[in-house]
Each structure stands twice: as structure tokens, then as C-alpha cells.
Amino acid sequence: MRHWIGNDKNRRSHHGVVLLSENTLKIRLDWRIRDASPALIVGEFDLDLNYLLTNEYVRHDRGKTGAIRLRFYHGLDDKIYIQKNLKSPAYFVGDFPSF
């Protein structure tokens, strides 16, 4: 299982390259508002990478054959989405926890 920590400091997004051959990708996503904030768990997911690619939530990575760019985005509505860019469809994955 991968473990990613998103941070609003980076345009409210966190992304990386993953191989399509990893379908289904198991990932835990935590998120923080800024570097000094505690990372709060958003969730653990089993992502179907081919589904995300077919439905245009992710894109092929330009530098690596057989790979995609997986981007999580913290929306202004405090929901976390998978979305290749702000103009593309967004796939809801969880709420940003607020305490």
C-alpha cells in the first residue's frame, strides 16, 4: 500500500506517477493544510487505474510509457477529488476531515 500526504501549499493538490500495471492501486491518503499542520486521514482506497483513465480523471504521463499521473485535489468545498486538471471531470474520493 502506498501512503501519500497532500498539502494545500502546493495549489491544493498532490500528484505522482503510477504504473497502469499496478491496477488495482491501494493507497492511503492523508492531507494537511500547511507544512506545520497535522496530517489528517482522508481514507484508504483501492483505485481502478484503468477506470480512472478511461473516464478522463487521470492522464498518461508524458515521460513514462505505461504510466499515468494521479492527482488528488482539495476542493474549495472541503472534498477531495481525483482530477487531472481543474477543467476536467472530478472523481470524489472523500471529505477533508474537520475537527
What integer pLDDT is reported at residue 99 of this predicted model? 55
Q: How far apart are CA 23 and CA 8, in angstroms?
A: 27
Cβ(60)–Cβ(67) below 8 Å: yes
What integer pLDDT is reported at residue 87 of this predicted model? 95
Tell me the domain boundaries of the chain. Answer: 2-95
How many angstroms from the chain centroid is the CA of residue 80? 8
Cβ(26)–Cβ(46) below 8 Å: yes
pTM: predicted TM-score of the whole model, two decimal places: 0.94
What integer pLDDT is reported at residue 23 of this predicted model? 85
What integer pLDDT is reported at residue 48 of this predicted model? 97
C-alpha cell at 42: 482522508
pLDDT < 50 positions in the chain = none
